[in-house]
Every structure is written in structure tokens, then in C-alpha cells.
Amino acid sequence: MGATAPRERTRINLKKNDTVTVVSGRDAGKQGKVLKVIPEKNRVIVQGVGFVKKHTRPNPQRNIKGGIAEREAAIHASNVMIVCGECSKRTRIGHKVLGDGRKVRVCRHCEGVLDK
């Protein structure tokens, strides 16, 4: 078996606590907050989106009950778009350098700043 080539990694412009809309997939149209960004795999975990069932074995030492637990699975970053806080539209992300030297993410529709 040959070694697999390293996966090309694109920069993810999403950050934790961004509000995003799912664009494609079974949860298309849902909105949620980004809980975690996984840049190595180009994936994000979004609150309330992409639930999977996980079977867990009971472990009394860690105080874990057994059974079937539902939790959010990671979805590909290309399947979500950030929602602008000012115009409330889903948008692509642009970049701009402000007067004080900060580089910020901006909305492509209203030029509003996405970074707090």
C-alpha cells in the first residue's frame, strides 16, 4: 500500500461563536453557532446541526451512563456560510485593514465588520 498524499488544506475563515447557515446537505437552511473549528480536516461543528447517534458503554469510574447518545458531528466548512450580524444575510467573507491597523473580516453585502 502506498502512502497517501497530504491533503490540501484551505484556510477556514470561520471562528468559534460565529453564526452560520448550513447551505447544503440534510440540514440545509438551519442556523447555529460554531462550537469548534477543525482546520486540519476543513470541518466545523455547529450547534444543533448534523446530529449522529453514538453508542456508549457504561463506565462507572468516569460516571458515564451507557446507551445511545445524540451529538453534533463535524460538517465540511464549504457547506456553511457565515451570517452577517448587521444585515442578517448569509455572506461570503472579505477582509479589510482598518485605520487602527487591525485586519478584520467584513460582509460582502453591507461591508459590515464580522469580528467583534
For the segment 89-109, what is each residue's pLDDT rounded down to a tens digit?
999 999 999 999 999 999 999
Cell of 61: 469510574
Question: How high is the pLDDT of residue 43?
Answer: 95
Q: Which numeric CATH code is attached to 19-83?
A: 2.30.30.30
Over the stretch 6-51, which tens digit does the pLDDT of each residue have? 667 678 899 999 999 999 999 999 999 999 999 999 999 999 999 9
pLDDT at residue 1 is higher than 90: no
Q: pLDDT tens digits, residue range 56-101?
A: 999 999 998 899 999 999 999 999 999 998 999 999 999 999 999 9
**Alpha-helix residue ranges (DSSP H) falling in 1-116:** none
- The CA-CA-CA angle for residues 104, 28, 107, to 5°, reads 20
83-88: long-range contacts, CB 8 A cutoff, minimum separation 24: 83/19, 83/20, 83/21, 83/31, 84/109, 84/110, 84/112, 84/114, 85/19, 85/112, 85/114, 86/110, 86/112, 87/112
Find the length of the chain.
116
pLDDT on residue 13: 92
**pTM score of the predicted model:** 0.81
Q: Where are the domains of the chain?
A: 19-83, 91-116
The rounded distance, in Å, linking the Cα atoms of 34 and 14 is 8
